[in-house]
């Protein structure tokens, strides 16, 4: 039975302790988050005028990596859209325009200058710099955003961080430990604390399992022992802002379930 405990949560990040799982399951979930959960990103750019220092291709590349708010319920993946058109339609494509000119001195063009035909599909932040224009320079273009998956291009990844590690188990032999403090000094995360009567471990979840403390202990064997819990993990997810972090995880689990059912169905047909 898998148990999940949410330790920390913000609008864009979540840290969980997952118990009763194993490495293959956690790795499958992580890879699906990175490669399979779809998001919106600029996929095609039609440059009308560009007198900036950036070439058209570089400008388009920068636009592609601006995270866009995503609505998975309204839009289809291009390959699944009924229109079957390479140009797309209003069910699989969103148009954004950029028309900026530096009329007085140097001007920085930001993501907030992108105007979307759908107010719900827009940059997650208005303060992402795109290009800096000298006086008299101008950029006019139309960009087309589509749903895509990270396995096709990194610009469609919904997260900036998705990682897991084993939950540490820290044991201190109070009878043998003389509280010399050497393990406290070398601990990079300041997890070990000298409380006067001995050494205590606090905020264990931050431990990186470096085992510097074990190496620093003058006793043999060391009075402190650190090992990974084979069935418990710390799972960290940070969204780019394209999707809420909860929705990313729900979509990933749904995709994993669907893939498992398809695999099981194929096995049953061949047996």
What b/e sequence results for 62-83 when a residue is b if at least 16 CB atoms lie within 10 Å of its CB, and e otherwise?
bbbebbbbbebeebbebeebee
Do 26 and 81 share a structural domain? Answer: no
Q: E strands along 54-137, which residues?
A: 94-101, 107-110, 115-116, 129-133
What b/e sequence results for 206-222 when a residue is b if at least 16 CB atoms lie within 10 Å of its CB, and e otherwise?
ebeeeebbbebbeeeeb
Q: State the pLDDT at residue 72.
A: 95
Q: State the pLDDT at residue 144.
A: 97
Angle at 179 between CA 175 and CA 181, to 5 degrees: 150
User: Within a domain: residue 263?
Assistant: no
Do 27 and 111 share a structural domain? Answer: no
User: Within a domain: residue 207?
Assistant: yes
Do 186 and 111 share a structural domain? Answer: no
pLDDT in tens, 178-236: 889 999 999 999 999 998 888 999 999 999 999 999 999 999 999 999 999 989 999 99
Assess whether the previous peptide bond of 6 is cis (omega < 30° from 0). no
Cα end-to-end span (Å), the chain: 29
Q: What is the spatial distance between Cα 81 and Cα 57, in angstroms, rounded to a whole number?
A: 27
User: pLDDT category, 271, cuts 50, 70, 90?
Assistant: low
CATH number, domain containing residue 233: 3.30.1360.10
Do 198 and 116 share a structural domain? Answer: no
- Are 57 and 107 contacting, i.e. CB atoms less than 8 angstroms apart? no
Average pLDDT, the chain: 94
Which domain-ending residue is among 106, 131, 152?
Answer: 152
Q: What is the spatial distance between Cα 29 and Cα 177, in angstroms, rounded to a whole number?
A: 41
Tell how far CA 47 is from the center of its chain: 30
Number of domains in the chain: 2
- The CB density around residue 124, as the number of other CB atoms within 10 Å, is 17
Q: State the pLDDT at residue 268.
A: 86
Which domain-ending residue is among 103, 119, 152?
Answer: 152
CATH number, domain containing residue 106: 2.170.120.12
Residue numbers of the domain that contains 87: 39-152
β pairing state of 107-110 and 129-133: antiparallel
Q: State the pLDDT at residue 11.
A: 87
pLDDT in tens, 98-143: 999 999 999 999 999 999 999 999 999 999 999 999 999 999 999 9
Do 138 and 171 share a structural domain? Answer: no
pLDDT in tens, 56-69: 999 999 999 999 99
User: Within a domain: residue 261?
Assistant: no
Q: State the pLDDT at residue 256.
A: 95
Do 58 and 10 share a structural domain? Answer: no
């Amino acid at each position: 039975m898998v148990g999940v405990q949410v330790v920390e949560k913000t609008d864009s990040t979540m840290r969980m302790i997952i118990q009763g799982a194993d490495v293959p399951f956690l790795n499958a979930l992580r890879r699906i988050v990175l490669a399979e959960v779809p998001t919106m990103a600029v996929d095609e750019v039609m440059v009308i005028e560009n007198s900036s220092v950036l070439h058209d291709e570089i400008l388009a590349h920068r636009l592609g990596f601006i995270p866009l708010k995503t609505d998975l319920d309204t839009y289809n993946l291009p390959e699944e859209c009924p229109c079957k058109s390479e140009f797309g339609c209003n069910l699989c494509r969103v148009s954004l325009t950029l028309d900026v000119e530096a009329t007085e001195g140097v001007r920085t063009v930001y993501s907030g200058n992108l105007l979307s035909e759908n107010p719900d599909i827009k940059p997650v932040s208005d303060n992402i710099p795109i290009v800096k224009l000298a006086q008299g320079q101008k950029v006019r273009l139309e960009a087309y955003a589509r749903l895509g998956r990270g396995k096709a291009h990194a610009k469609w990844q919904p997260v900036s961080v998705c990682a897991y590690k084993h939950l540490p188990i820290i044991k201190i032999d109070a009878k043998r430990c003389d509280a010399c403090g050497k393990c406290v000094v070398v601990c990079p995360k300041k997890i070990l604390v000298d409380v006067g009567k001995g050494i205590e471990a606090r905020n264990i979840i931050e431990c990186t399992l470096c085992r510097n403390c074990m190496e620093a202990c003058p006793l043999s064997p060391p009075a402190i022992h650190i090992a990974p819990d084979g069935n418990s993990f710390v799972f960290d997810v940070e969204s780019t802002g394209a999707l809420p972090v909860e929705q990313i995880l729900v979509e990933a689990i749904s995709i994993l379930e669907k893939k498992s059912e398809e695999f099981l169905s194929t096995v049953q047909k061949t047996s």
